[in-house]
Amino acid sequence: MMRIRQILCLTGAVLLFGSHLVAEGDPVAEAIAKAGKQRPREALKTLLKADSIAPNRAELLGRIAIAWSDCVDLANDEHHRAEAEQDSRNALSVAERAVKADPKNSMAHLGMALGTGRMTDYAANSEKIALSKQVRAEAERAIALDPKNAGAYYVLGRWHFGVATVNPLLKFAAGIVVGALPPASLDEAEHNLAKASELEPNDIEYHEQLALLYRKLGKKDRAAQEWNAMLKLPSVEAHDEQMKAEARTALGKQ
């Protein structure tokens, strides 16, 4: 899951949009700054309002796609599956607009990676592998366009972690039906998740995923370092406390 606050950041009087600086007073910059302090649904409304004022801004559209993706988690239970699916479709639709507006915008491709990833939950089995391949390709494209895009490293790391640990029989069966998955490895998962955490050291979720990966690799000391790092950080989102509780439990079992 990508969270609004880890994607939206304001530095001084300007926002860095890829290689472009947007001056203070720009409605898009102001909306992104405001959204960074709001919960997902409120942040989404703020960003959508900015889009109505300044449409077809790839950076903004990419962030709207990420916001829609965040909202999926709020609705994703058995009672709200239809709402979660619609949020996922909205994320992908807006991401497609973002890439069309500027194919060289890193945040637009991150939005595509997330929107595509969300749709794997609702796609037919015959489509899942193709979507998975696209998630990886879009994350890699986002990194190529902006080597400091922490979210893209995180998505790519999660992709490697997930694919590398898929049951071999399921992976083989999937390969027969729709073509082999791209190669994945836990080493690549570690590299990308560590890079994400290096770029955004205050993100609890990045530390959590690294801890889970290190535990999988049998690196108990490294996992403990990540769990302890989580506990030192302030909680920003509601589920941060839940992740911290899980970290305390994990540390107690070591």
Angle between helices 240-253 and 220-231 in degrees, nearest 10: 140
Q: Do 215 and 253 touch, CB atoms closer than 8 A?
A: no
Read off the pTM.
0.86
Identity of the residue numbered 133: K
- pLDDT value at residue 22: 45
Q: Do 3 and 10 touch, CB atoms closer than 8 A?
A: no
- pLDDT value at residue 170: 54
- pLDDT value at residue 87: 92
Contacts of 108 (CB under 8 A, 6+ apart): 58, 59, 61, 62, 65, 95, 98, 99, 101, 102
- pLDDT value at residue 123: 85
Record the tokens describing residue 235, joined without a space. 């909680």
List, for the chain, all residue ranges whose pLDDT scores fall below the cut of 70.
1-25, 75-79, 167-180, 238, 254
> What domains, with CATH codes, occur in the chain?
4-156 (1.25.40.10)
- pLDDT value at residue 205: 93
- pLDDT value at residue 168: 60
Q: What are phi and psi of 172, to 5 degrees?
A: -65, -45
Query: Which segments of 58-203 does DSSP mark as H helices, in order?
Result: 58-75, 81-101, 106-119, 125-145, 150-164, 168-178, 186-199
d(CA 10, CA 207): 22
